[in-house]
Amino acid sequence: MEVSLDNSIFLSATANFSERSYKRARYYDPQSGRFINEDPIRPDDAIDFYAYVSNNPINFTDPLGLYGTDPGVPLPIPPRLDKLMKCMDKCTGKAQYVTGTVNGTGTSNGGHLDPGHAGGTSVDIKPVGTPSKGPRGIFCCAQQCEAVWVIDERKTKFHYHIMLEMTIHPRGQNMIPYTPECEPKGCNANK
pLDDT in tens, 7-56: 444 444 445 556 777 776 777 777 777 777 776 655 555 456 666 566 66
In terms of Cα–Cα distance, which of 181, 85, 79 is closest to 126?
85
How many distinct structural domains can be found in the chain?
Answer: 2
DSSP calls for 19-55? S-EEETTEEEETTTTEESS--SSPPTT---TTGGGTT
User: What pLDDT was estimated at residue 48?
Assistant: 60
Residue 106 has pLDDT above 70, yes or no: no
The CA-CA-CA angle for residues 63, 138, 101, to 5°, reads: 75
Its domain, for residue 7, covers: 1-41
Residue 170 has pLDDT above 60, yes or no: yes
Q: Give first-to-last CA distance, the chain, whole Å.
A: 58
User: What pLDDT was estimated at residue 148?
Assistant: 94
CATH no. for residue 147?
3.30.1380
Please check whether residue 102 lies inside any domain of the structure: yes
User: What letter does residue 73 receive in the DSSP assignment?
Assistant: S
Please check whether residue 2 lies inside any domain of the structure: yes
Please check whether residue 189 lies inside any domain of the structure: no
Least confident of 13-27, 88-102, 153-167: 13-27
User: What letter does residue 162 receive in the DSSP assignment?
Assistant: E
27 and 120 together in one domain: no
Enter the pTM of the model.
0.62
86 and 161 together in one domain: yes
Please check whether residue 118 lies inside any domain of the structure: yes
20 and 47 together in one domain: no
117 and 98 together in one domain: yes
Please check whether residue 74 lies inside any domain of the structure: yes
Residue 74 has pLDDT above 70, yes or no: yes
Please check whether residue 9 lies inside any domain of the structure: yes
User: What pLDDT was estimated at residue 20?
Assistant: 74
User: What pLDDT was estimated at residue 110?
Assistant: 53
Q: Is the model more confident about 34 or about 148?
A: 148
